[in-house]
Structure 1
Amino acid sequence: MGNNNSSLKRKGIKMELDKNVDYNATDLENLGAETKLKCHMPSNDDAIDRVHMFHFFQRSLFQSDFSPPIEERLVRESCKVLDVGCGPGTWLLDLANKYENSSFYGIDNNLAYPNEIKPGNLNFVRADVFDRFPFPDNKFDYAHQGLMRYTAKPEQWSFLISEMIRVVKPGGYIELLATSRGEFKGTGPVLMKLHEAHFSYCLEKGIDTKTMPNLDKIIKLNPDTPIVNRDEKFFISGPNGGKIGMVYQDIHIGFHKSEATTEILSPILGISKEEYKTMITKDLIEELKHTSPEYSLIRFWAKKINNN
């Protein structure tokens, strides 16, 4: 596995030695060599562990790995599934072990995903998701995106969604995971400062987080996906949100106290790194005991129709 110390391996998820599905080794190597890498997701162990935690968090929140009605096809048929911006491949590893009759593909420009040890029905392609996908039209039964909430600019979302629709067969599905914080209900002053600093940084990079809750509008613009379904789940972060809330707090705190985030947000907040770390590890944790900040995750999904 690319990251031998990751929590996914420690959890003992069943894996098999690599077997190629549709691409041979030369094809995969050439795809990686020819691609300009633009979008990067942290690949250190802590960041990968947070991705693993988030996968199990959102699966518990929705009580499912996906929202489109495709499970029967995954079980009985040889479906082809694509995960766009797959990161370390947590979602794919979970599904590939459950649905052995189907084939799974992950596409990302980062090598955080397993390179050697993985289920035989799973392959990864190194390529930039903001370029044309290295797949023909109408190849997949289902295209999923769940790890790119803060990496795409508004115009990139339009391209990304159009590519997902292009590579899915008529009658197949696309699905995108988004976040919505609404009106920041129940948010205390410490958490609000963090949100404002983070949003300020995103806007500086051209990433408008207000796009996320409105991805359905972009999906509807494509004539092949006129009907978009919205599956939204609300939760409270912190002790007042129960077990789900504490898991999300751990993910949130872990992200904000990382060295990379500290380097970015402490200057925006106008405080030293030491003051910032105290703010995260003491002030924020204490605040969450007395507040109930409300968040939500949204799954947008649509069925591709045949307009021919």
Structure 2
Amino acid sequence: MGNNISSSERKNKKIEFYKEIDNRTTDLEVEKELKYYIPNNYEDIDREHMFHFFQSRIFQNNFSSPIEERLLREECKVLDIGCGPGTWLLDLASKYKKSLFYGLDNNSVYPNEIKPSNLNFIQADMFDGLPFPDNEFDFVRESSMSFLVKADQWDFIISEMIRVTKPDGYVELHEPYSTFNGIGPVLSKMHDAHTLSCLQRGVDMKIIINIDRIIQSNQNTPIVYKDEKSCILGPNGDKIGIVIQDLFMGFHDNEVAMENLSPVLGISKEEYKIMMKDLIEEFKNTSPEYKLIRFWAKKN
């Protein structure tokens, strides 16, 4: 049996969770479809912030590379590509004041005025190449771009990350992915539709678990390390499960997602709305596994 949690109880659990965190195809068609994946309004940006704190809680840190001592004692240069609203950078720039932080994104949803003095944002498209010289940064990081990067683009993106990293510096990639462990029939349909929608744009979600092979193929990063964490999506995953459920539903239960996924599912918009309600009920009686994975490597 699942946990029947009231809306007020769920709200209280979310508040408790964040308190704990605080303490420690045409171009137009593609642009429309990508609204499903890229932050475009305050709610999307809020979810990006929430996901950052969720990741930090799961891993108990903001990165897996052994770079912290250098961040504390030196003037390190750190780059976050596809930085979105810059949540990760804002967090680190406030903590590691001796280091310099740079965020790059082609969608300028990051703050330009209210930010630490050691943080700068640059509007540029990573698919055109990173606008920096070789060996520029001590730490280069990418997160949650698997919905956007096409299968034939990963090698270029990772090569660019390695190129702008200094010798003895680190590259790190963070990506979420779902398994079929504990999954129910409604979530299974949603997962299949999402996977097919991505494949129609040339994005293969299965590449995520093999990104280490792409990193290893570069002669400068032959050794790759993996850090993997998992949780249960939904109320049976306790407070963390409720938070990731809210993030998941926010990502899927909206007009743009409905427009993109209902044709793939072969259902009407009204049927899609019913499906979302069924999914919430399904979470109460299942324990689907949700994973986060980090790959990191030191540049020779």
- Please indicate, yes or no, whether the TM-score normalized by the shorter chain is above 0.5: yes
- From 196, 206, 210, the equivalent of 1:210 is 206
Task: List aligned pairs for 1:150-299, cutoff 5 A.
Answer: 150-182=147-179, 184-280=180-276, 282-299=277-294
Q: 1:159: how far off?
A: 0.4
User: Secondary structure of 1:300's match?
Assistant: strand
List aligned pairs for 1:88-107, cutoff 5 A.
88-107=85-104
Equivalent AA in structure 2 for residue 298 of structure 1: I
Distance 1:292 1:161 in 2: 34
SS of the residue 2:153 aligns to: helix
Q: Report the Cα offset of residue 181 of structure 1.
A: 2.6
* C-alpha distance in 2 between matches for 1:148 and 1:201: 15
Please give the secondary structure, in 2, of the residue aligned with 1:200: helix
Q: Give the SS at the match of 2:295.
A: strand
User: What is the CA distance between 1:176 and its match in structure 2?
Assistant: 0.1
> Unpaired runs of 5+ in structure 2?
1-18, 20-30
Q: Is 1:143 matched with 2:140?
A: yes
In structure 2, C-alpha distance between the alignment counterparts of 1:196 and 1:223, rounded to whole Å: 36
Separation of aligned partners in 2, 1:152 and 1:287:
31
Deviation at 1:258, TM superposition (A): 1.5
Whichever residue aligns with residue 296 of structure 1, its letter is K
Aligned residues: 267
User: Aligned partners of 2:133, 2:139: CA distance in 1, in Å?
Assistant: 14
Q: Which segment drifts farther, 41-50 or 124-133?
A: 41-50
Whole-Å separation in 1 of the counterparts to 2:97 and 2:103: 16
CA–CA separation in structure 1 for the residues paired with 2:178 and 2:264: 21
Question: Higher helix share goes to which structure?
Answer: 2
Unaligned runs of 5+ in 1: 1-10, 12-36
Runs of 4+ in 1 over 3 A off after TM superposition: none
The Cα shift of 1:155 comes to 1.7
- Secondary structure in 2 matching 1:155: coil
Instruction: Give the Cα–Cα distance (whole angstroms) in 2 for the partners of residues 158 and 242 of structure 1.
Output: 38
The Cα shift of 1:285 comes to 0.7
Matched, 1:51 2:55: no
Partner of 2:129: 132
| Aligned residue type for 2:299 | K
Task: Tell me if structure 2 keeps the 8 A contact 1:153–1:207.
Answer: yes
Any conservation in 2 of the 1:179–1:213 contact (CA below 8 Å)?
Answer: no
Task: Report the RMSD for the aligned CA atoms in angstroms.
Answer: 1.4
* Amino acid paired to 1:120: S
Contact 1:87 1:147 in 2 (8 A): no
Contact 2:77–2:138 under 8 Å retained in 1: yes
* Cα separation, 1, equivalents of 2:55 and 2:175: 11
- TM-score by length of structure 2 reads 0.87
